[in-house]
């Protein structure tokens, strides 16, 4: 088992709706520090797969890091979604599964800020973690807009009602049901969000909903630093580092042959000699003068004993995201950052090679 992954025991399973389960885990003894997390972060699970050995999938934590409650993810079945159906059908109390420690940057910079939380479907999972934590530790006002197909699809319906009743001066929850109101349009989302133009906005849900919601926030002039969205796709790689058997290799060769026409352009040449790398992570400063131009930033930091965050290592999640403060890097692969992210200087550490002689970054 790779040193960065852990075997965790399932201590509870709750059926939230007909197609969504909350699974709680026991943190392994001695791993409390690795499993300390921020609201809105996710776990990466190693879901067993007959075809590829393991299907790595990211699932948001719905629990709050405040108090002594268990580490909990909430998983909703998706049509033809192998991993989500396997989790809901197979994980039971007493079972164990491999996971990577919590990661991700979909988390408020301040729990005292006023928060506008826009969710649809299972996108409420990290929103729930943020709401629970901000109510316990923060002082700002919180508005949750939650869209679903119908009343039976609403995850955490009872918990949201309870929290709103317990915090009437701070929490407002608005439900939008497609069965009653149809799908929300960008214009309708903008009209709703316009009342909270000074809030920090967080958006999570299916891609069409996120596109409309982010479009609405841009239309209203929400600045990039107050506009956040969570993006998950199926991870193509195996961050758990094992199970590279013959079947997997043959499958990857078939994919490569099929995608020959889509081979990316060669990487631009970088500096000829070692690069200076300055990193700010968890309040600590690291400086290195020997970053090799052909080595990815994450790999260089790991070689120096720096425990930099990551999950997929494939450029398919945002767990390793850094913000450029000086210099430039070239990403080999990026399936998660959009043009706004790139314009703000956000890069993926697991895919970044140096372009300039000095690079200075900070982790969120």
Q: Going from the N-terminus, what domains does the chain have, and what CATH number goes with each?
A: 6-103 (2.40.30.10), 115-229 (3.40.50.80), 275-363 (3.10.20.30)
Q: What is the CA radius of gyration of the chain?
A: 21
pLDDT at residue 193 in the model: 98
- In the beta sheet, which residues pair with residue 134? none
**Residues with Cβ < 8 Å from 195, sequence gap 6 or more?**
none
Burial 71-99 (b: 16+ CB within 10 A, else e): bbbbbbbeeebbbbbbbbeebeeeeebbb
**CA–CA dist 364, 362 (Å, integer):** 6
Q: What is the pLDDT of residues 63-121, one digit of tens each?
A: 999 988 999 999 999 887 889 999 999 999 999 999 999 988 899 999 999 999 999 99
pLDDT for position 96 = 96
Question: For residue 137, how many other CB atoms are within 10 A of its CB?
Answer: 13
User: pTM here?
Assistant: 0.78
For the segment 310-349, what is each residue's pLDDT rounded down to a tens digit?
A: 877 778 777 788 999 999 999 998 888 888 889 889 999 9
pLDDT at 68 (0 to 100): 85
CB 49 within 8 A of CB 2: no
Q: Which parts of the chain register pLDDT below 50?
A: 1-2, 243-267
53 in Cβ contact with 61 (< 8 Å): no
DSSP code of 224? G
Element (H, E) at 140: none
């Amino acid at each position: 088992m790779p040193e960065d992954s852990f075997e965790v025991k399932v201590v509870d399973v709750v059926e939230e709706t007909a197609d969504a389960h909350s699974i709680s885990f026991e943190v392994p003894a001695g791993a409390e520090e690795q499993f300390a997390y921020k609201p809105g972060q996710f776990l990466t699970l190693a879901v067993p797969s007959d075809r590829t050995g393991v299907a790595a999938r990211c699932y948001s934590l719905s629990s709050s890091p405040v108090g002594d409650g268990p580490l909990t993810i909430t998983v909703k079945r998706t049509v033809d979604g192998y991993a989500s159906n396997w989790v809901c059908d197979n994980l039971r109390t007493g079972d164990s599964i491999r996971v990577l420690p919590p990661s991700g940057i979909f988390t408020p910079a301040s729990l005292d800020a006023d928060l506008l939380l826009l969710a649809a479907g299972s996108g409420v999972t990290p929103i729930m973690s943020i709401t629970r934590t901000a109510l316990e530790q923060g002082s700002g006002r919180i508005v949750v807009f939650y869209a679903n197909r119908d009343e039976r699809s609403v995850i955490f319906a009872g918990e949201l009602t309870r929290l709103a009743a317990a915090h009437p001066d701070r929490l407002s929850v608005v439900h939008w049901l497609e069965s009653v109101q149809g799908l929300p349009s960008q214009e309708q989302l903008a009209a709703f969000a316009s009342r909270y133009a000074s809030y920090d906005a967080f958006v999570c849900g299916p891609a069409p909903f996120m596109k409309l919601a982010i479009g609405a926030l841009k239309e209203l002039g929400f600045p990039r630093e107050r506009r956040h969205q969570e993006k998950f796709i199926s991870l193509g790689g195996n961050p758990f580092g094992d199970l590279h058997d013959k079947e997997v290799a043959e499958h990857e060769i078939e994919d490569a042959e099929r995608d020959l026409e889509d081979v990316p352009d060669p990487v631009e040449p970088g500096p000829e000699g070692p690069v200076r790398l300055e990193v700010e992570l968890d309040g600590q400063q690291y400086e290195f003068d020997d970053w090799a131009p052909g080595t990815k930033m994450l790999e260089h930091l790991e070689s120096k004993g720096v425990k930099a965050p990551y999950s997929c290592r494939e450029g398919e999640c945002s767990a390793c995201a850094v913000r450029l403060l000086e210099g430039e890097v070239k990403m080999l692969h990026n399936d998660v950052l959009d043009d706004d992210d790139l314009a703000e200087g956000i890069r993926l550490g697991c895919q970044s090679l140096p372009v300039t002689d000095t690079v200075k970054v900070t982790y969120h």
